[in-house]
Structure 1
Amino acid sequence: MSRQLLTVEQAAEQLNLHAKTVLRYIRDGRLPATRVGKSYRIPRADLDAFAGLASGRSDMDTGARTTCITEIPGVTVEAAERIATFLQSAAMTGDAGTSPLHLQTAFDPLAKVLKIVAIGSPSDVGTLLKMLHLHIGARR
């Protein structure tokens, strides 16, 4: 069985991110990739895992939904925009086998607080929180 490999540009399109952002994730070790000549190839399975896609099983059968509110203090406007864009692109990935993940962000510029509301299956919300943790940890 052959593995489907994606270019950086294809991965960026799938994640709704800029290609340079995907390259940064690869160089930081957050996204596994194989170097082929002067470019990289990302296995589809690794990209799906990075994006938080379900791995074949779905929580839709249980009907369980989770609502999570996360507050991040001390955030600049630019950082809030980057985090919101990152999370929105992650929330838009998925297929017909996964339940929809709803995401809302709100930034209070006076208090410098970003609030994130995520509603979805427990595993999808958990994966999104892990991605958020890694994203914020990489910035500090």
Structure 2
Amino acid sequence: MLDTEMLGARIAKARIAKGLTEQQLAHRLGVKVAAVEKWESGETDPRANRLDQLAGMLGVPLMWLIGGGDAPPDVESPTFTETHGVEEKLLRAEELVKQLSMLLVDLGRDVRRLQRNIDFDKSS
């Protein structure tokens, strides 16, 4: 018998590492989303033929999916370096948003000033 809770956690971990939603995985396997949800929650086990399909689709060894052990490199948690790089990109994006906001405010002022000048010239 499989350790259902651990199997479900490994399915979820591999699915997330592959960048798939539960809906996408269900569609690719030809099963209902509820089936994937039950597998991942540990409520039920996939059938043997589905385990083989899951392993292939998720790009993990069947033996890891069934029995655990060391996770394949693609399923490992992101390293500090990877998360730090993402955080740097996020900070840079936030800074760019601030700069663009200030630029939009300046442009708005310039447009209003130019419009007033045009309106003044027309009335003169």
Coarse TM-score class (shorter-chain normalised) = under 0.3
Q: Give the number of the structure whose alpha-carbon radius of gyration is greater.
A: 2
Say which structure is richer in helix.
2
Q: If the length of structure 2 is used for normalisation, what is the TM-score?
A: 0.27
Q: If the length of structure 1 is used for normalisation, what is the TM-score?
A: 0.24
